[in-house]
Amino acid sequence: MSDETHDNLPALVPDEPIANPGLPEHTWRPTDVDERAAKRAERQVATMFGLAQVCVILFLVAYFTLKVGDNPTTFAGFGASTLALGTSLGAALLLIGVGIIQWARKLMADHEIIEMRHPVKSSDEDRQEALASLEAGIEESGIARRPLVRNSLLGAVGFLGLPAVVMLRDLGPLPGDSLEHTVWTKGMRVVRDVVGTPIKLSDLEVGDLVNAEPEIIFAVDAAGDPKFEGVALQVAKSKAAVILLRMNPGDLTPAKGRENWAVDGIVCYSKICTHVGCPISLNERTTHHLLCPCHQSTFDLADNGKVVFGPAGRSLPQLPLAVDDEGYLVAQSDFTEPVGPSYWERDSG
Amino acid sequence: MSIDMNKVATSNTTSAAIPRKPSKVGAVATWVDDRLGLATSMKKQIRKVFPDHWSFMLGEIALWSFVVLLLTGVFLTLWFTPSMGEVQYNGSYDQLRGIHMSEAYASSLKLSFDVRGGLLMRQMHHWSAMLFVAAMMIHLLRVFFTGAHRKPRELNWVIGCLLLLLGTLEGFTGYSLPDDLLSGTGIRAADGFMKSMPVVGTYMSFFLFGGEFPGEAIIPRLFTIHVLLIPGLLLALIAAHMLLLVYHKHTQWPGPGRTEQNVVGYPMLPVYAAKAGGFFFIVFGVTAMMGGLLSINPVWKFGPYDPTKVTAGSQPDWYMGWPDGALRIMPGIESHFWGHTLSWNVFLPIIVLPGLMFTILLLLPFIEAWVTGDKREHHLLQRPRNAPTRTATMVALMTFYGLMWAAGGNDIIAITLHLSINQITYFLRGAVFIGPVVAFLITRRWCISLQRHDEGVLLHGYETGIIMRSPEGGYTEKHLPISPARAYTMTARDREEVPVLETLETDENGVPKKRSPLAGLRYRIRTLMYADNIQKPTAEELEAAQHHAEHEHDLQAALDGHAADGHQFDGHHAVEGETLRGDH
């Protein structure tokens, strides 16, 4: 097995230490020699094919009699239609399959046949002939002798790649700075998720966690139509979702510059995980830890949203809170950093 | 048993059958051949020989589940609306009535509740997708463990790897389509993955989503990729895979009469066509049973996608589990430089690692060929034990995959077994590196032990279970020689030679030329690969062992008039009229 072996032919397994005894003799099956056994196998196969037809009839009966929709027929608490259609179709198919294989095993000839292999490569003559033709073709085209033609053609075809790539440009807008902002603005109320009611300090007990949104998500214009709808609403929600948590003010250890971001122990953080963007909401009440259910990144809300465990690389962005004249929680400003997963253009630690 | 040869089929010979009178089939075939001239190419293919072994069925499962996917998938497209347009749901599922959702989700609900057989088709589609990917993976393992990836089949290995990659992507795009909470969470994570790519990531995300996540373009775009682009590629590659299989002829296990130069088995028509065709119905039938009886992906329970919500225990389909596991156990490392952020914690496990693993998989046959330097064709399969280092390599890769996969379910493991998720994660961070090494070493030694056992069986025979007592009072188990057919099968393999590093040529001044560092590396790997393997015995060794056995047999025969040769109770021989101790 040296490197110099360039033999394309099949590897030869030498007839040693034991000589090849050759293919064992064929043994007859009962169905080959006993006409009754063969007839019995024939009946078995035909019975299976016949039962398959019965199963198809059952399928049709189930299709037309069992109801789906508003008031579905049920069987032992399951949708009867799916159950009956699946089992009758499955049984029909299985009976056909098993029948065919029984036919093949019992009734079709079972003599093993020997076929010789040939080297996968072409014969040397064919190879030389093909190579000669290839060379003649290349020679006659003159592509080797006229590099100007060859190179300018390669250039021209290569350039065609540009439209192919450039035409994908309109798949979407350029990112610009859209990832750096959310719909939060100074003085915007923090409202409850789903219902949209504003939140007073007194609404929250110590330890309470509230899933919240910016008020504008629920806002309507003069005509009574929602300001955000469809895609715009989904985009706004996917960045602006927040969580509110009230804890003992003494538990908080705000970083420099964040001393006045909490109101009476109430802190507000982005709900979007800084790892790959799942909404986080599994709260460990006693530790103020928030766990992301997707990849288990854990953030300490008492300590500026710092990562305490898991694959996330950055703290959760905090929304500075204040209270408005009517006593409702509002934002002091938008987030001071982009929310959600990191991206190349992001410019902050 | 006497054989009545009159009742035996006489047509199954190797010579071509010549119709005595023009049959109906012949008339049709003539009509077709007049127009297509297929007879020349088909004359050999119709009775083409395929060898039989249960493990050759694994690829067939993949092929037939793909056909089931095509059939059920076409049915689903007739009702599914690939649109993120917002509608209010007014269908049959009471719990979601009046809720705003995308048309994609609403039409998935309609398929599940209002179209007869719709839920069955959805569930069959999902189950056969899982079967498709699983069968491809197990088929890949079978091919590698038995050495079927060696020359001349390396390119078919590459095609197979591409099929696995495309099948996985097809699965991801498919389960993302219903736009339920779970699939939307998956797409959102995919958005995060894309954004982690340096330089181009943000642009790729904006171009794929048609703007900021979630936009309204992603579902229609994934739909086109799922029903047109990837299935087209899959079809083309499957066709190439099958054509190469036919051209190379299938590999076979060694055995009496089965050599590197031939292929022994049943003809395509009728036996193999019937077995494979029948198996298609069985795969289809099993999928239909699963679709009818086993609930999968109940999208109505998850609710429509809402970017502010997620459920605990969110997990991708199983074949996406291992990169998700890598994502979970990766420490949170980010680099910030020159106003840019590079999140290694996402980029490495989810973009780089899968690409790296796939490249390794793709290159395995070429790496092996480089190490062994073997340029011959191989059509006989090897038992995994007879290639200990190769087997151990794949087991190491499987261990890595399995541990990563376990990491993808770290929350489920923690909840089910009441363990600390933190400790599971810390453990797996180390285990994914140590585990494969341990698995490699154990597997390699295990294979070599099995080779030793084979050698023992060849030289000293099999264990009969008959205990002999010698006059001295010692006990020995009686061994008997195995049949020549089995002995031949066990020895029908190459004798590997531990390479000798070739002596270096010297130049005209007598100074040895320098060896390339790559050649040295190859020498070391090749030595590692072969050095501890047990080679099959030589003819002399075998003869000596037999001689020894006969001698021992004679000694034992002398103990009692009628020796207990063990044949009586070994399960291989008839026991009628024989007793263990003669007349006793």
Tens of pLDDT, residue by residue over A94-118, are: 999 999 999 999 999 988 999 999 8
Q: What is the pLDDT of residue B524?
A: 87
Question: Which strands, in side-by-side order, build the sheet including B49-50?
Answer: A113-116, B262-267, B49-50
pLDDT at A68 > cutoff 60: yes
| Minimum CA–CA partner of A340 in chain B | B192
Environment class of residue B11 by beta-carbon count within 10 Å: exposed (0-12), middle (13-18) or buried (19+)? Answer: exposed
Whether residue B380 contacts residue B146, with contact meaning beta carbons closer than 8 Å, is answered with no
Q: What is the pLDDT of residue B528?
A: 87
From A18's Cα to the closest Cα of chain B, the distance in A is: 6
pLDDT at B243 > cutoff 80: yes
pLDDT at B515 > cutoff 50: yes
pLDDT at B572 > cutoff 90: no
Identify the bridge partners of residue A269 per DSSP, sorted by sequence position.
Answer: A243, A318
Q: What is the pLDDT of residue A2?
A: 38
Whether residue A10 contacts residue B260, with contact meaning beta carbons closer than 8 Å, is answered with yes
Q: What is the pLDDT of residue B119?
A: 96
Q: Does the distance separating the beta carbons of A20 and B312 come in below 8 Å?
A: no
Q: Does the distance separating the beta carbons of B210 and A230 come in below 8 Å?
A: no
ipTM of this complex = 0.92
Q: What is the per-residue DSSP string for B33-46?
A: HHHH--HHHHHHHT
Closest partner CB to A10 (pick from B258, B261, B279): B261
Cβ–Cβ contact A37 with B under 8 A: no
3-state SS, residue B150: coil
- Choice among A171-180, B8-17, B239-248 with the minimum mean pLDDT: B8-17
Cβ–Cβ contact B279 with A under 8 A: yes
Q: Does the distance separating the beta carbons of A82 and B205 come in below 8 Å?
A: no
Which one of B153, B199, B221, B281 makes the best mutation probe of the A interface by having the most chain A beta carbons within 10 Å? B281
pLDDT at B51 > cutoff 60: yes
pLDDT at B557 > cutoff 80: no
pLDDT at B435 > cutoff 80: yes
Q: Which residues of A touch B88 (CB under 8 A)?
A: none
Cβ contacts of B347-355, under 8 Å, gap ≥ 24: B347/B196, B347/B197, B347/B198, B349/A311, B349/B323, B350/B193, B350/B196, B350/B323, B350/B326, B351/B193, B351/B196, B351/B197, B353/B323, B353/B326, B354/B323
Sign of CA dihedral B71, B75, B78, B81: negative
* Higher local confidence (pLDDT), A316 or A17: A316
Q: What are phi and psi of A291, to 5 degrees?
A: -110, 135
Residues 260-299, chain A, touching B (beta carbon < 8 A): 271, 275-282, 293-297
At residue B379 the predicted structure's pLDDT band, cuts being 50, 70 and 90, is very high
Report the pLDDT averaged over residues A115-142: 93
Whether residue B314 contacts residue A294, with contact meaning beta carbons closer than 8 Å, is answered with yes
Q: Does the distance separating the beta carbons of A87 and B289 come in below 8 Å?
A: yes
Q: What is the pLDDT of residue B566?
A: 56
Cβ–Cβ contact A226 with B under 8 A: no
With helix as H, strand as E and coil as C, how does B251-268 read? CECCECCECCCEEEEEEH
> Could you tell me the two tokens for B555?
């000694």
Cα angle value A75/A76/A77 (rounded, 5°): 90
Measure the CA–CA gap between A280 and B308, rounded to whole angstroms. Answer: 9
Report the pLDDT averaged over residues B125-146: 98
pLDDT at A8 > cutoff 70: no
Identify the bridge partners of residue B336 per DSSP, sorted by sequence position.
Answer: B341
Q: What are phi and psi of B11, to 5 degrees?
A: -85, -15
Report the pLDDT averaged over residues B523-528: 88
Mean pLDDT of chain B: 89
Q: What is the pLDDT of residue A76?
A: 85
Q: Give the amino acid at B23.
A: S
Residues with Cβ within 8 Å of residue B578, at least 6 apart in sequence: B567, B568
Neighbours of B90 (CB within 10 A): 10
User: A174-199 burial, b for 16+ CB within 10 Å, e for fewer?
Assistant: ebeebbbebbbeeebbbbbbeeeebb
Which one of A342, A345, A348 makes the best mutation probe of the B interface by having the most chain B beta carbons within 10 Å? A342
Cβ–Cβ contact B324 with A under 8 A: yes
From B182's Cα to the closest Cα of chain A, the distance in A is: 11
Q: What is the pLDDT of residue A91?
A: 98
> How many residues comprise chain A?
349
How many secondary structure helices (H) and strands (E) does chain B include? 21, 8
Environment class of residue B18 by beta-carbon count within 10 Å: exposed (0-12), middle (13-18) or buried (19+)? Answer: exposed
Cβ–Cβ contact B89 with A under 8 A: no
At residue B196 the predicted structure's pLDDT band, cuts being 50, 70 and 90, is very high
Q: Is the pTM of this model over 0.80?
A: yes
At residue B277 the predicted structure's pLDDT band, cuts being 50, 70 and 90, is very high
Q: Does the distance separating the beta carbons of B291 and A114 come in below 8 Å?
A: no
Q: Which of B369, B376, B547 is nearest to B459 (CA)?
A: B547
Q: What is the pLDDT of residue B364?
A: 97
Q: Does the distance separating the beta carbons of B288 and A89 come in below 8 Å?
A: yes
From B583's Cα to the closest Cα of chain A, the distance in A is: 35
- Choice among A213-222, A318-327, B52-61, B470-479 with the minimum mean pLDDT: B470-479
From B510's Cα to the closest Cα of chain A, the distance in A is: 25
In whole angstroms, how far apart are CA B87 and each of B76, B342, B522? Answer: 20, 39, 64
- Choice among B51-60, B294-303, B502-511, B544-553 with the minimum mean pLDDT: B502-511
At residue B507 the predicted structure's pLDDT band, cuts being 50, 70 and 90, is confident
Closest partner CB to A13 (pick from B11, B342, B492): B492
* Helix-, strand-, coil-residue percentages of chain B, each rounded to 5: 60, 5, 30
pLDDT at A222 > cutoff 90: no
At residue B18 the predicted structure's pLDDT band, cuts being 50, 70 and 90, is low
Q: Which residues of A touch B333 (CB under 8 A)?
A: 313
With helix as H, strand as E and coil as C, how does B70-99 read? HHHHHHHHCCCCCCCCEEECCCCCHHHCCC
pLDDT at B15 > cutoff 60: no
* Higher local confidence (pLDDT), A228 or A39: A39
Mean pLDDT of chain A: 91
Closest partner CB to B379 (pick from A66, A117, A340): A117
Q: What is the pLDDT of residue B556?
A: 64
Q: Which residues of B touch A86 (CB under 8 A)?
A: 120, 123-124, 288-293
Q: What is the pLDDT of residue B527?
A: 87
pLDDT at A3 > cutoff 50: no
Q: What is the pLDDT of residue B276?
A: 96
Tally C-beta pairs within 8 A across A and B.
Answer: 410
Q: What is the pLDDT of residue B374?
A: 87
At residue B1 the predicted structure's pLDDT band, cuts being 50, 70 and 90, is very low
pLDDT tens per residue, range B335-369: 998 889 999 999 999 999 999 999 999 999 999 99
Q: Which residues of B touch A19 (CB under 8 A)?
A: 488
With tokens 């376990």, the residue in question is B406
Cβ–Cβ contact A100 with B under 8 A: yes
Q: What is the pLDDT of residue A114?
A: 93
Question: Which strands, in side-by-side order, build the sheet including A306-309?
Answer: A282-284, A289-291, A298-300, A306-309
Whether residue B432 contacts residue B400, with contact meaning beta carbons closer than 8 Å, is answered with yes
Q: What is the largest CA-CA distance in chain A?
A: 101
Tell me the pairing of strands B340-342 and B335-337.
antiparallel
Report the pLDDT averaged over residues B437-453: 97
Q: What is the pLDDT of residue B23?
A: 83
Report the pLDDT averaged over residues B298-316: 89
Q: What is the pLDDT of residue B195?
A: 95
Q: Which of A299, A278, A271 is nearest to A287 (CA)?
A: A299
Whether residue B305 contacts residue A121, with contact meaning beta carbons closer than 8 Å, is answered with no
In angstroms and rounded to an integer, the radius of gyration of the C-alpha atoms of chain B is 31
| Minimum CA–CA partner of B286 in chain A | A90
Q: What is the pLDDT of residue B573?
A: 56
- Domains with residue ranges and CATH for chain A: 30-106 (no CATH), 179-331 (2.102.10.10)
pLDDT at A198 > cutoff 70: yes
Percent of chain B with pLDDT over 90: 71
Q: Does the distance separating the beta carbons of B330 and A278 come in below 8 Å?
A: no
pLDDT at B569 > cutoff 60: no
Which one of B308, B353, B454, B500 makes the best mutation probe of the A interface by having the most chain A beta carbons within 10 Å? B308
Measure the CA–CA gap between B103 and B85, rounded to whole angstroms. Answer: 6
Q: Which residues of A touch B341 (CB under 8 A)?
A: 342-348
Measure the CA–CA gap between A21 and B222, rounded to whole angstroms. Answer: 58
The upper half-sphere exposure of residue B112, i.e. CA atoms within 13 Å in the direction of its Cβ, equals 19
pLDDT tens per residue, range B401-418: 999 999 999 999 999 999
Q: Which residues of A touch B189 (CB under 8 A)?
A: 276-278, 294
At residue B578 the predicted structure's pLDDT band, cuts being 50, 70 and 90, is low
pLDDT at B499 > cutoff 80: no
- Domains with residue ranges and CATH for chain B: 59-181+221-309 (1.20.810.10)
Q: Does the distance separating the beta carbons of B291 and A115 come in below 8 Å?
A: no
